[in-house]
Amino acid sequence: MKKLFLICLTLALFMACQNQPQRYSSSSAEIDALKSAISALESQDWDTFKTFYTSDGEIYVNSKDSITVDQRITDLQKITSAFSSYGFAKKGQFVEMIIDDDNETWVNFWGQWSCTFKHNGKQLSIPLHITVQFIDGKASEEHIYYDGTSLSNEFNAMASATDKDADEGNSEVEKAEITETAAVTVNEVIIIETLADTPVIYPGCSGTFPEIRACSRQNFVNFITENFNSDIASDRDLSEGKYKIRAVVKIDKTGKSSVLKVDAPNTTLEKEVVRIINKLPNMTAATKNGEPVDVSFVLPVDFVVE
């Protein structure tokens, strides 16, 4: 009888082990779903990409703070618009699915992501790790890890090149203005919006992040030079020479502009800068995580009297 009991117990334990869910797999519906999402990203099929996630899916990109799926798509559209090509290398990919001790289903992906920039043809290749929690076949939580230093450096260089091109484009206008009795030159606009996801948008500007910045900056510069009252040189009997003005300007969450601080040789020029900034048209505010945020920048102006 004891032998029979032991045999039955052994059989019961064996059957229990057989009924346990598989804890590890290199092929599954979840793995196929992740691969499909990657393909949708590479082809910019954003509608299909969005179906990969649950309605309240959370995404963490090198951060402990999550963003929504819609914000992730917006970020990807902004980033990929700068590339002539991008995608994951097929060789060397590794994908696995595990069920952890809490019976949560996770898929891990390791691969090499590459891109080519439109403006200079530069290529980057970055190792990337993705880990995704699945609930009922959908991604409810995604963590993305990679070293974005080289990518950020290239985007910063691209933005600087765009600003430099805009400066060079203004040079002929500035030379012509110097022949007048008084001329206004707006030097490099130093924009402080590193914490923003989208830049301030001057009315009528559109396109990619760098295009919007260049367009908004150009319109901003044009507005200052066209509206600065050059007659104050004679009205106030200003002597010949160059007057340097430096203003810190804020564009708030409503898109309204104001002067935070202005340094100028005299109060006349200070008041003129404040007057012009207050006349600027309302703009579309910069955003962070989909919410409007304040943006400040430094505005250097040279007022030349001959």
What integer pLDDT is reported at residue 286 of this predicted model?
Answer: 84
Same-domain status, 132 and 232: no
Query: Domain range holding 297?
Result: 165-305
Please check whether residue 123 lies inside any domain of the structure.
yes
User: Would residue 170 count as lying in a domain?
Assistant: yes
Identity at 192, one-letter amino acid code: I
Q: Are residues 142 and 177 in the same domain?
A: no
**Pair (35, 69) in one structural domain:** yes
Question: Cα dist. 133→16, 70, 125, 280 in Å?
Answer: 26, 18, 26, 48
Reported in sequence order, the residue ranges of 70-157 that DSSP labels E, i.e. its strands, are 83-88, 94-99, 105-117, 123-135, 138-146
Do 124 and 222 share a domain, yes or no? no
6 within some domain = no
285 in any annotated domain: yes
User: What pLDDT shows up at residue 158?
Assistant: 67
Q: In the chain, which residues have pLDDT < 50?
A: 1-19, 162-163, 165-194
Give the per-residue pLDDT at 226: 85
Strand extents, DSSP E, 3-102:
24-25, 53-61, 83-88, 94-99
Whether residue 112 sits in one domain with residue 63: yes
CA distance linking residue 54 with residue 61, whole number of Å: 17
What is the structure's pLDDT at 1?
45
pLDDT at residue 105 in the model? 93
